[in-house]
Structure 1
């Protein structure tokens, strides 16, 4: 739809009117509690849009909000933002206080632990007051002179949003390839910098997949992926030679099945460039190219088969393969010689399948193999000496934690770098000698302002779901917390795509804990905390288990008097926002307030529309509603379709105009329908960031403004304003 000047000026005048109303109310509201009746809430126009499939017609009154080029849509979003600002005006000073509190815990001048890769030590650092990192390196030793490869603060100037989507250095250490996104649609412009001269090369490639870049051995050929601008899926792999026109770049592979996501990289051994096609938890396929032969052809490691997932690591003259073949639901480890990979008869078992252990990942070294394994919801690191075959697990000593293998580019070392955190332990980086078992803390995230981890308590609980399954809950609170139902609690979960939400530390979260809140992570089905079956039983036609688990965890926390209905809050984002929408339709009485971030709430309409980014790749997660069985099931839980005339809890919904994952119109339509149907007088707010996308604001500290808004919303509902 083309813009016209008349509509444009109408839009500006209307926005000015809204802002005038907002400003006129400011003085009046300074002494009032957060009150939705202070100003009339926006009312979205009703424009019925019937949609019929399988003999069933749904009427979407707010379908028109999909057109971001329509000034009426922008007008409505701006009115919602003005309304949110007005209702939350009494918390404005509190939000600023929370922001400064959170920012004050952060060590502004900080840097990461250097990692040796080839002849250089690479690290990133922040300067005082800087929003973005500086990416640096030192040659040969940490005492050498610093080279600043990229200055994020300088590059970000003039942009309301900025993000560097990963970088790759050529094998001769001279050319830096990096991606830049200034819109938050995750379309990265690939750029090149000569690290010897500081020159930014003329080569520039738009709409690439950030971070998915792979150099060939010749130091002039690079492979990259281009995103389809309709689906926003990376579907094509190109080869570019520095100094040549990008118009002459060669298409080396195109993924024509829109249900497959793609990845691109290089093996740790640097021998192979790999292209990965993954069918969202259903099947995968690797293609390999010898990095010394950039103009050669990619060969298939093993052709894709529906139901077979595999992941590879190169080692010497063979590959390790993590695979679910032969009904190994939790995966097993196999090995196969180079040149014999396409016949599974050549694959030899190294680690068998185990029903109670999920094989999550692996890291290969010259003399050691490290496995990431999940058991009883926790990550374990298993070290195997490849020479002696002796093995052991690293001990972490806490009831709930998150441990993972960090970046380990050095193949020859016997030192494993891993990351560790828990609900009470700030993110930490350790170097671990796999022979002597000596562990050295390289860095613990600094938390300023007098933080002492011993002031807080973490527990691992288990709620019994309605079908008898035990659902883990990780919880943290400050000492002195009373388990008599008198204190507030924020419950969080995600529960989709097999993504496991492990117990992690948050400095910002202390602002809740220090004000009497407990924070709980419900490890519901849909993730993989308890193994692959945990995921399989929380997707497709079993998706409702995710919602039931969350509700049953809530009831357990209330029953055990960690909180009560009038003090329980819920939070989730993206697919976790879908979770929030489902639970308030099913059990609105359980929650005092809910924060739904970038929520995927219009499930049926989105999954029927193949023109919407990412839709086709999601069918194996949610089902394809073009099939009636999935349509009926989706419709039975889709938050947007199930809004009713009844009371709902207080609700803050956030979105971003440029969101490429969950389009802004889903939460906007949801809020509009809730406004029209809900029968309560509780707070219902929509905040649309007009400059960002799925991840919210960019920058190190800007994000705290979003968190401060959410916390102020929750705390205010408990009568806490300082």
Structure 2
């Protein structure tokens, strides 16, 4: 959503039958005549691309982005001339991503052109094509440039370095750059809700696996900071009772895979404590090493909680993502297994007390690793798991299938089909002593249709499952993210935690 400079015209997107935002319209406020429909100013015919519209932080420009998983194209309209047609910044080309912001007499552009982990460029406002881009911040391999917030006199740069975010304040007056420091080894931090362009105050968020989420304000001139708000935790919670750390597992190809871990300080690391290992590994999503109130229920019962930052995510730069998708997807699963083995081999976990959990694409991960190494785990939780990936990707009429080709591949290609069949969770179910399993589905889920987990469970019961429990829970009124009501959501999480606690013998 975006507004013209005089707030008389609004810009927004409309969706097609597959709920894909495929049109941007502008509408003058107050026009209510049925014959005066909003003006369509941009249409995206390619099913792999979604449209988005917003404003720069300065509010001087309206930015329309057409993006697929790996390619973007940007148009702009000056907010003071809102009836002008959209102006193209740089034509799309496969694999080129760029994002446009505004600062003074220039655009600042994050791009992966000749820079897999992105670099920052500047361009003039009215001749903004690639030929006129000038580098401001060079590419740094392995340290992904995640975000840039340009204020009138400063710029805040967010990088993901070794799986941990780094926030740097660039003072444009004296060209100094200072990094915001945090105490923990592992944490999550990022820009907060910054809506003013002419300011020296920058809001950011911070959390860790032992620190509740907080909102801070920092003076970009003096670096003095103030906590504005922190997530309340009821009871006698004391962060000093818990400890977080970073471990590194070695994958079969020698790649070092980070693991974020948290436990009570008095929980032993001798294999006697139950452990829950969580994973995702898709879409370049970074698993944040953040705080969770429900997780305290596990930690206070003596659990160790670990998070495997496997390839397919974005923790270690674009290479991390590229090595965990398409023809490299198996790396995601072998990374996760390597993390489990690392915890076992180093005395943190024991297979008889190791529970694994993942949802959606993370549920696909769980399904794949259970086929590959069922003996490593005592129980598994797969929430709305994308386990029938081959059949779903073979049907382009299913909403969202086409846009997923760049993530999983198009199995209509025989070579892609053959590779996907090596790891696909449903097709690779076999006779084995699978661990206890809790599988969830949502009847109204538009992303992972309810029949995917249902048919997977049916095949596990028929072909593969050993003597252990296998439970399918289908939410009859929920979608992809589970029940929407606060208390229903809490009950849903309580069920998962109770299953894990019971299965681990706690």
The question of whether the paired residues in 2 share the 8 Å contact of 1:657 and 1:689 is answered with yes
* Residue 446 in structure 1 maps to residue 232 in structure 2: yes
- Measure how far apart 1:266 and its partner are: 1.3
Greater Rg by CA: 1
Partner of 2:20: 233
The question of whether the paired residues in 2 share the 8 Å contact of 1:240 and 1:246 is answered with no
Structure with the bigger RCO (C-alpha within 8 Å, sep 6+) is: 1
Partner of 1:392: 178
Distance of 2:498 and 2:107 partners within structure 1: 52
Judging changes above 3 Å, is the alpha-carbon distance between structure 1 residues 216 and 300 closer, same or farther for their aligned structure 2 residues? same
The question of whether the paired residues in 1 share the 8 Å contact of 2:4 and 2:82 is answered with yes
Partner of 1:274: 63
* Residue 623 in structure 1 maps to residue 412 in structure 2: no
* Aligned pairs for 1:457-536 within 5 A: 457-536=243-322
Distance of 1:245 and 1:660 partners within structure 2: 34
TM-score, normalised on structure 2?
Answer: 0.97
Backbone CA RMSD of aligned residues: 1.3
Partner of 1:692: 478
Q: Secondary structure of 2:489's match?
A: helix
**Aligned equivalent of 1:602, options 379, 388, 392:** 388
Q: Secondary structure of 1:399's match?
A: coil
The question of whether the paired residues in 1 share the 8 Å contact of 2:277 and 2:306 is answered with yes
Distance of 2:40 and 2:198 partners within structure 1: 35
The question of whether the paired residues in 1 share the 8 Å contact of 2:353 and 2:505 is answered with no
The question of whether the paired residues in 2 share the 8 Å contact of 1:606 and 1:615 is answered with yes
- Measure how far apart 1:246 and its partner are: 5.9
Partner of 1:329: 116
- Measure how far apart 1:471 and its partner are: 0.6
**Aligned equivalent of 2:2, options 211, 214, 235:** 214
Distance of 2:420 and 2:23 partners within structure 1: 32
* Residue 250 in structure 1 maps to residue 39 in structure 2: yes
Distance of 1:220 and 1:321 partners within structure 2: 28
* Residue 554 in structure 1 maps to residue 343 in structure 2: no
Structure 2: runs of 5 or more not aligned: none
Partner of 1:108: none
* Aligned pairs for 1:126-205 within 5 A: none
* Residue 660 in structure 1 maps to residue 446 in structure 2: yes
Distance of 1:469 and 1:560 partners within structure 2: 18
Q: Secondary structure of 2:210's match?
A: coil
Distance of 1:227 and 1:639 partners within structure 2: 32
User: How many residues are paired up?
Assistant: 504
Structure 1: runs of 5 or more not aligned: 1-212
Distance of 2:33 and 2:258 partners within structure 1: 55
Cα deviations by residue, 1:644-683 (Å, 9 ceiling, x for unpaired) = 1222111111121111221212111111111211241211
**Aligned equivalent of 1:674, options 460, 468, 472:** 460
**Aligned equivalent of 1:263, options 45, 52, 56:** 52
The question of whether the paired residues in 1 share the 8 Å contact of 2:58 and 2:196 is answered with no
The question of whether the paired residues in 2 share the 8 Å contact of 1:261 and 1:280 is answered with no
Judging changes above 3 Å, is the alpha-carbon distance between structure 1 residues 523 and 246 closer, same or farther for their aligned structure 2 residues? farther
